[in-house]
Structure 1
Amino acid sequence: MNMTNIPSDWKVEKIEFAKLTGERARSAGANGRIGIHGKKCAVDIARITIDGQIGYGSSIHMTPEWAASLVGRRVIDLFDERGRVREAYRLQLEYPLLDWLGQRQGRPVYDLVSGSHAEKGVPLAVPCYDTSLYFDDLHLPDERDAVALMQEQARQGYAMGHRHFKIKVGRGGRHMPLWEGTKRDIAIVQGISEVAGPAGKIMIDANNAYNLNLTKEVLAALANVNLYWLEEAFHEDDALYEDLKGWLRQRGQQVLIADGEGLASPHLVEWAARGHVDVLQYDIIWPGFTHWLELGEKLDALGLRSAPHCYGNAYGIYASGHLSAAVRNFEFVEHDDISIEGMDVSGYRVANGEFHVPAAPGFGIVFDDERVTGLVERSGWSVSHQA
């Protein structure tokens, strides 16, 4: 990123913090690990003011005390020699800083970070998938009714513009008897693949609810499905993934192995470099955007694929679209239909399996200044630099 046009005397003038709330379009059920996720959502947002220009963005782990130590600091000192946010400020402030920089320069963030593979002057459209297909069928005793319900949810996603779908599996890991739940997993994946059609890519995510042999049983049963990747089959294990990859090669079954969410093994990238994992999925909010700029370079060099996780934080959906311009082997934006009050994302749209990113300054998200100010005053906080 070009930082040469930022005067050395510009300083952080104000940092404000507020929590914005909203809802998913449809309540999300259980997954292989935990119970109902529900409909309510929230995003922690920081607003930064520098030279009278504001920037908005997701922020985690920021306190008024930390912010007070930052106001009055030179902006140029928050970035390294490559123009990237320094690690000490990333989780708390990288998103509002990048949004501010894009607003100041009149450029979208994707243009600030784009790599040589990105086409210049061309509208940015990125493959995406519907990630909303959870265990919403557990109350139904009949498998056929369960399949019909999940197919209807997939049709809703298809009508919205999705063509690719990620499906939660692992019902037998906690919420149903083992074989009954596994059999239902298989039937639902097959049913949703009918909705997606032959061109639609299907991903399945077990949230570590399978073991190696159960994974093989499921994959063998889904050999007739256009299964693109298997995600978090079991907790990351190099020996088990090596076995699974060898088994898939023997069968000639082209299914990618994806992992990296949550408390992922620190050795996961090393194992992927050995060929045992294909797609890395660290979160877009933590460790974050700038971490992904660095990780994406490394994964590209190794010929590995990137698919940032962002479920549960609506801001991450839109940030992922911008990241795709910087990472050559970027796979998908993980998309969930969420509305956050005071956060206007109407510049973005899903169409024909792609996520269209607006060519607007910053992250292209319009925040309701008045609403945010009210939330800052009622339940948030504000810290200003005293000149």
Structure 2
Amino acid sequence: MSLDRHFVRSVELSTIRTRYPRTVGRNARLGSHGSGGESDIVVIRTDTGKVGWGLVAGDVPAEQVTGRSVAGLIDPGSGVRHEELRGLDFALHDLVGQIEDLPVHALLGGHGQRTVPCYDGAIYFADLDPDDGPRGVPAVLADCAADDAAGYRAFKLKIGRGNRWMDRAAGDARDIEVTRAVREAYPDHRILVDANDGYDCTGFLKYLRAVTDCGLYWVEEPFLDGAADLARLRSHLRDAGSATLIAEGETDPELETLLEIAGRGDIDVLLMDVVSFGLTSWRAVMPRIAELGVRASPHAWGLPLKTLYAAQLAAGLGHVDTVEGVPGETIGVDTSGYLWRDGELTVPDRPGFGLSLQSGK
């Protein structure tokens, strides 16, 4: 590669704005997630006229980068060369793709498929809003209907209402009611559930018994991480003859512990965030994940742009069966190269991430 012939001329910070199609409400731990917001991006320009950009993934050491060759900043075979460059992870990968006229998924090895199933990550506690007149289960079904119309064929339902927002028994009963209502309304859709650690193990097993016929694809972060409780959950699923997967690792992941638990067969899918964990870190850990025989699905909630990054990672590194979708739009970014059809996202063969900033960015 010719990266040693390109030198960084400037490193610029800017912002992009995300807009959801509706206000996204509460989950088991947090209040309303709003209707979108601004995110920091970094744009790197070279003396040869090449431009790479991406979400900021940490500190941006502009002074340490300006004037250096691209080859000194990133190894195309493994990622950014130094820990202090992690904030530029996505911008540098995009820049390499622009220089070499290769999509990021090709830089990552092209080990997966360019088309990956994508589930809807925006089904929150709409039933609890507004406070002065909660709309109940029909509000959740209305959100599912809207996202089904937008092309989603899999829903991840937030559960854990009894952790903070409702009496424990009433909240758990509502979780069951919502799960069963969505399954009845969408018998052919994949259903995932995410408790955001809003249960204890005993309570979660009770929930599972009540929805055992709903055919859950996976259960995500059902309770605070604990090897013994995850082993207990695995035992329950095995005894029930259930194919439901256990997904963990989004919140404050302790990687070595997670890998050890996965190696024992008590985690099936690892969820470290695509941006905060980082593309370089994913590149380093994926061979170990593959060796353990488990799968990955990088957490992408919050930004539609993160979904596109996760899809590139899936196509490039493989071992990803589905990615998290974030309904909405990224204002000021041309995402037209990505094909969205009937619950599946296809990444483009355009250079870098295949995303261009519109004028003014």
TM-score range, shorter chain: over 0.9
Q: 1:76-112 CA deviation, whole Å, 9 max, x = no partner? A: 1112483522242553111111111212222211122
Give the distance between the partners of 1:196 and 1:163, measured in 2 at CA: 9
Runs of 4+ in 1 over 6 A off after TM superposition: none
SS at match of 1:271: helix
**Which of 203-212 and 359-368 deviates more?**
359-368
Residue type at the aligned position of 1:181: G
Deviation at 1:326, TM superposition (A): 2.8
Aligned twin of 2:103: 108
Pick aligned residue for 2:24 from 23, 28, 35: 28
Residue type at the aligned position of 2:50: Q
Residue type at the aligned position of 1:62: D
Aligned twin of 2:202: 213
**Which of 203-212 and 252-261 deviates more?**
252-261
Give the distance between the partners of 1:93 and 1:155, measured in 2 at CA: 38
Residues 158 and 193, structure 2, Cα contact 8 Å, conserved in 1:
yes
Give the distance between the partners of 1:76 and 1:139, measured in 2 at CA: 52
Aligned twin of 1:305: 295
Pick aligned residue for 1:16 from 12, 17, 26: 12
Give the distance between the partners of 2:78 and 2:239, measured in 1 at CA: 46
Deviation at 1:354, TM superposition (A): 0.7
Give the distance between the partners of 1:205 and 1:99, measured in 2 at CA: 32
Aligned twin of 1:194: 184
Residue type at the aligned position of 2:122: S
Q: Which has the higher contact order (CA 8 A, sep 6+)?
A: 1
Deviation at 1:328, TM superposition (A): 2.8
Alignment of 1:327-342 (within 5 A): 327-342=317-332
Residues 43 and 315, structure 1, Cα contact 8 Å, conserved in 2:
no
Against the structure 1 CA distance between its residues 310 and 242, is the aligned structure 2 distance closer, same or farther, given a 3 Å change threshold? Answer: same
Give the distance between the partners of 2:54 and 2:263, measured in 1 at CA: 33
1:244 aligns with 2:245: no
Aligned twin of 2:215: 226
Q: 1:267-311 CA deviation, whole Å, 9 max, x = no partner? A: 111111111111100000011112112222211111011010011
Aligned twin of 1:88: 83
Aligned twin of 2:150: 160
Give the distance between the partners of 2:287 and 2:29, measured in 1 at CA: 32
Pick aligned residue for 1:68 from 47, 63, 70: 63
Residues 42 and 313, structure 1, Cα contact 8 Å, conserved in 2:
no
Pick aligned residue for 2:309 from 292, 298, 319: 319
Q: Which runs of 5+ in 1 are unaligned?
A: 373-387
Task: Give TM-score scaled by structure 2 length.
Answer: 0.94
SS at match of 1:43: strand
SS at match of 2:178: helix
SS at match of 1:47: strand
Pick aligned residue for 2:52 from 38, 51, 55: 55
Aligned twin of 1:39: 35
Deviation at 1:9, TM superposition (A): 4.0
Q: Which runs of 5+ in 2 are unaligned?
A: none
Aligned twin of 1:125: 115
Give the distance between the partners of 1:196 and 1:331, measured in 2 at CA: 21
SS at match of 2:170: helix
Q: 1:220-246 CA deviation, whole Å, 9 max, x = no partner? A: 111111201110111110011111111
Give the distance between the partners of 1:140 and 1:13, measured in 2 at CA: 51
Residue type at the aligned position of 1:42: E
Q: In angstroms, what is the RMSD of aligned CA positions?
A: 2.0
Pick aligned residue for 1:135 from 118, 125, 144: 125
Give the distance between the partners of 2:251 and 2:40, measured in 1 at CA: 19
Q: 1:240-267 CA deviation, whole Å, 9 max, x = no partner? A: 1111111211121221111101212341
Residues 118 and 325, structure 2, Cα contact 8 Å, conserved in 1:
yes
**Which of 310-319 and 28-37 deviates more?**
310-319
Residues 236 and 264, structure 1, Cα contact 8 Å, conserved in 2:
no
Give the distance between the partners of 1:42 and 1:196, measured in 2 at CA: 34
Q: 1:161-204 CA deviation, whole Å, 9 max, x = no partner? A: 11111010000110011111111111111111233323x21110
Q: 1:39-62 CA deviation, whole Å, 9 max, x = no partner? A: 122221111012211111111333
Residue type at the aligned position of 2:183: S
SS at match of 1:126: strand
1:281 aligns with 2:271: yes
Residues 165 and 196, structure 1, Cα contact 8 Å, conserved in 2:
no
Pick aligned residue for 2:351 from 361, 372, 386: 361
SS at match of 2:275: coil
